[in-house]
Structure 1
Amino acid sequence: MPHVPGVLTEDQCDKTGAAIAAMQEPTGAMPWFPGGQTDPWDHIESAMALSVTGRHPEAEAAYEWSRRTQRPDGSWAIRTVVGTVADANTDANFCAYLAVGVWHHYLITGDTRFLERLWPTVWSAIELVVRFQAPGGQIRWGGKYPLPTSGVAFDPADGSVFDAAMLTGSASIHQALGCAAAIADEMKQPAPAWRHAQLRLGHALRAHTDRFAPPSDHSMDWYYPVLGGAVRGRAGQELIADRWDEFVVADLGIRCVDHRPWVTGAETCELVLAMNCLGDDADATRLFADMQHLRDPDGSYWTGLVFSDGKRWPVEKSCWTSAAVVLAADALSRTSSANGIFRDADPLVDVTVPASEVPGLSCDCTNA
């Protein structure tokens, strides 16, 4: 069981795992909170925390929910509330993240039957996601359901997909493409097109940020290129240092939005993970300790705190915030066999494929 000395004990981490499991619906869905919405991305993050805390049956029930609810085109509805679709449209990042969760669970369990069972679901999801890739490498964020079934790449000119590419979502997809390619290799069905898509996306995230919507005032647009593996090393350190003072609030965590007096636990823990990827565990551990004021006695975590008036907001203990705590603790403590799922998300370059042969690259992205 993960633990961070002086910050989070094994028993406390286990209690958080139990709190996450207690929110799971009978269908296997992992809602934001009991009775709340389920989205495909946060659902997977919560399943990953269940895997880390040894709740493998519950985690596999979550992945079975994903397998059962996947639509014929490989997508999921953006939002479901207690089994009823509330937003039927498609978000490419939401679809891609299944690959991260499936690879994570396999690294922990070594269960080849699980991997074989989820492989068709992963394949369908990633095949859909790469159709959202624009010629410049960026991933268009989503589209209206149902999407066109013909053609290779989606064309925003027909109005079916949204032309904008979001920095955070694309950075997360960068990690997902690497995990999907690793699953394909494990299944003895290599997918070089997915590797190429990741190379093109990583290059865009490092060298052509103008191809994405301008970074917003949300902290995720700040650290996600590091977390998703596209930006690492000195460039990653400089990226984190550049906006540190805008987002980090001493003793409390980080702001979700740069100009609001509101710190949130999930974003703080994701920054902890990003810093762990850069080897900065000392500052990461301090941040992890700073956000523990959001912990509830039942082991769950409140979403955030408005520090100008000392009020929790929203007034909810979100499943995905608790999950982010568990994943950060695992990375810092290097406990589970999947503790490096984010550290290992750096650009996965197949050295047998010259960058010049990867469509869409204007320069050698392997050296960018």
Structure 2
Amino acid sequence: MAIPAIAGVLTSQQVLATGAAIVGMQEDSGALPWFPGGQTDPWDHIESAMALSVTGFHAEAEAAYDWSRRHQRADGSWPIRTVRGRIEDPNIDSNFCAYIAVGVWHHYQITGDTRFLNRMWPVVWSAMELVLTFQRPDGAFRWGGDASGAKFNEAQITGNASIFQALDCAIRIAAEMGQPEEDFVAAHAALAAAFDDRMDTAFEPPSEHSMDWYYPVLGGALRGERAQRHIADRWDEFVVPGKGARCVHHRPWVTGAETSELALALDALGDTADAITLVESIQHLRDPDGSYWTGLVFSDGKRWPVEKSCWTSAAVVLAADAISRTSAANGIFRDSVGSAVRSGSA
């Protein structure tokens, strides 16, 4: 299969090496931890599996999805954090649970494997049914809850933007299975209305992290001129030319994952040239083995944290795929249900 490449930035051999580096971090159980010996969370685990699908490591990707299938709890959730199979945080993050839909749809688009989709559909359905219980009357989703079933009321903008994409993918999976889920459609429409009409009041105020800035675009909740203005408003606050995007606006710290995800958001808006520039700007984080260091404190030139994170490598691969239009799933961050209708939202 074809492997993504960005001319003058990354060769297909280099992207393949990054996929192989992710494989090298995978545990025997199929889990894809942050780094060898580190924690596994259900969201970053899926992002890493998506990069394996793109780079042709389909068996390893399916081992990761099988890990999700086997570790899903009876209520449809996964613990927030496990370390080598030991639960360290049993609580529930609604966005973490929803992301399985994005990964499953992505892998199916690439492989066309109906047996995989049939096997994973009950997992996706159960997860999304749980996630729907976190939706508030105003359309926004509460961010999480504890093991007792109590829910925290706050709705975070990044998590909601990611849930928006997950609902989109769940709707597509349900249609492919011939089992349309009107509850998914209604929840997606209510969340779209929250972003369109009440973005400043439905969610917690944007934090100091860049994710709260670009994620409404990355998840598909904002498109068109409104999205272009949204990105332009804080561009200088987060983007450091030649170095990448800051994770936190007031710190001299650029991170590979946030930069790559911002590139994906720009690509979704058709701003591919700036997306390429961003990916190029973080190649200083690339290790000779193909993996990527998490970030750089550019004020003193030190990598921090001193780890090569699985999900950073994955984000680079996904950005390269979107920019190069290589895999059959390259548009998963570009395409969203109803985005054309909302593109002119004020």
**Normalising to structure 2: TM-score of the pair?**
0.97
Deviation of residue 146 (structure 1)? 3.6
Deviation of residue 322 (structure 1)? 0.1
Name 1:88's counterpart in structure 2. Answer: 90
- Contact kept, 8 Å, 1:228 with 1:346, in 2: the verdict is no
Supply the AA of the counterpart residue of 1:180.
A
Name 1:3's counterpart in structure 2. Answer: 5
Q: How does 1:66-145 map to 2 (within 5 A)?
A: 66-145=68-147
Name 2:238's counterpart in structure 1. Answer: 247
Supply the AA of the counterpart residue of 1:308.
S
The whole-number CA distance in structure 2 between the counterparts of 1:184 and 1:145 is 28
Structure 1, unmatched stretches of 5+, are 148-159, 352-363
- Contact kept, 8 Å, 1:199 with 1:365, in 2: the verdict is no
Name 1:228's counterpart in structure 2. Answer: 219
Q: Out of 177, 193, 196, which is 2:167 matched to?
A: 177
Name 2:23's counterpart in structure 1. Answer: 21
Q: How does 1:262-277 map to 2 (within 5 A)?
A: 262-277=253-268
The whole-number CA distance in structure 1 between the counterparts of 2:248 and 2:191 is 26
Q: Out of 155, 158, 163, which is 1:165 matched to?
A: 155
The whole-number CA distance in structure 1 between the counterparts of 2:56 and 2:221 is 30
Deviations 1:172-208 (A, max 9, x none): 0000001001000000000111011111111112221
Please identify, of 201-210 and 237-246, the stretch whose mean Cα deviation from structure 2 is larger. Answer: 201-210
Deviation of residue 214 (structure 1)? 0.6
The residue matched to 2:282 in structure 1 has which SS? helix
Name 1:153's counterpart in structure 2. Answer: none
The whole-number CA distance in structure 2 between the counterparts of 1:283 and 1:37 is 33
Name 1:50's counterpart in structure 2. Answer: 52
Distance 1:187 1:314, change over 3 A: same
The whole-number CA distance in structure 2 between the counterparts of 1:79 and 1:206 is 33
Q: How does 1:276-315 map to 2 (within 5 A)?
A: 276-315=267-306
Q: Out of 32, 35, 60, which is 2:34 matched to?
A: 32
The residue matched to 1:344 in structure 2 has which SS? coil
Supply the AA of the counterpart residue of 2:179.
Q
The whole-number CA distance in structure 1 between the counterparts of 2:343 and 2:277 is 34
The whole-number CA distance in structure 2 between the counterparts of 1:34 and 1:294 is 18
The whole-number CA distance in structure 2 between the counterparts of 1:263 and 1:367 is 31
- Contact kept, 8 Å, 1:231 with 1:346, in 2: the verdict is no
The whole-number CA distance in structure 2 between the counterparts of 1:308 and 1:367 is 39
- Contact kept, 8 Å, 2:223 with 2:343, in 1: the verdict is no
Deviations 1:100-145 (A, max 9, x none): 0000000000000000000000000000001100000000000011
Deviation of residue 365 (structure 1)? 11
Moved over 6 A (4+): 364-368
Deviations 1:302-333 (A, max 9, x none): 00000000000000000000000000000000
Deviation of residue 211 (structure 1)? 1.2
Deviation of residue 37 (structure 1)? 0.2
The whole-number CA distance in structure 1 between the counterparts of 2:83 and 2:325 is 35
The residue matched to 1:193 in structure 2 has which SS? helix
Distance 1:99 1:44, change over 3 A: same
Supply the AA of the counterpart residue of 1:45.
E
Deviation of residue 347 (structure 1)? 3.2
Name 1:340's counterpart in structure 2. Answer: 331
Supply the AA of the counterpart residue of 2:186.
H
- Contact kept, 8 Å, 1:178 with 1:348, in 2: the verdict is no
Supply the AA of the counterpart residue of 2:298.
F
Q: Out of 193, 198, 202, which is 1:203 matched to?
A: 193
The whole-number CA distance in structure 2 between the counterparts of 1:366 and 1:320 is 33
Please identify, of 55-64 and 207-216, the stretch whose mean Cα deviation from structure 2 is larger. Answer: 207-216
Name 1:317's counterpart in structure 2. Answer: 308
- Contact kept, 8 Å, 2:225 with 2:343, in 1: the verdict is no
The residue matched to 1:85 in structure 2 has which SS? strand
- Contact kept, 8 Å, 2:164 with 2:192, in 1: the verdict is yes
CA RMSD of aligned residues (A): 1.4
**Normalising to structure 1: TM-score of the pair?**
0.91
- Contact kept, 8 Å, 1:195 with 1:348, in 2: the verdict is no
1:218 partnered with 2:220 = no
Deviation of residue 367 (structure 1)? 6.2
Q: Out of 194, 201, 204, which is 2:184 matched to?
A: 194
